[in-house]
Amino acid sequence: MNLKTLSAALACALLVLSMMGCGTTNKLQSITLSVPGGTALQGGVYNLKGDGSTLQLKATGNYSDSKTKDLSHEVTWSLIIDPTYTVDAFDHTLPAPGQTIEISSTGLVTAIEPATCTWIDVAPASSTAPSWFFVGAYQVTATFGGVISQPIYIPVASSAGNVDDIFPPTQAGNNLSQLCGP
């Protein structure tokens, strides 16, 4: 066997071993969504407050070798109306994504026109302090390599709230300042 053939065989063997990873794989296990620098109102809920306001989402890939990787520019972002919370503070069905809220290919969520309020004040009318509850939200997930992230939820506070809250009707007149959310 000549030196050229031996070198080629050795190179092929090294290539095969490196592709096998010495018997281990580095498989994407999950994707975690977060809002760096943002504070969740509760687990996985982030308020989009103000017309034109933004939230920058981050998608972190969690791999079987315990390593992580920022996949924010590689995932496919999905933005839908939350199936559980579907109305605004005036009891109107939320507009489809692309109206009121949009998401870029890099995970930048922006409040756009038409503005909306998805928060209601459920405090008794006699209360001076509001007690906010969201009745509408958008749900965001990210997908990469067949793996879908956990959802995060985004209520929107880009317009004034309603004067006579309708959830429940006994609180009518408790939001006279027309505030919208926390």
pLDDT tens for residues 103-142?
999 999 999 999 999 998 888 777 778 888 999 999 999 9
Cβ proximity of 137 and 153 under 8 Å: yes
What is the pTM for the complete model shown?
0.80
Cα–Cα distance measured from residue 27 to residue 51, given in angstroms and rounded to the nearest whole number: 40
pLDDT digits (tens, 9 = 90+) for 88-110: 988 889 999 999 999 999 999 99
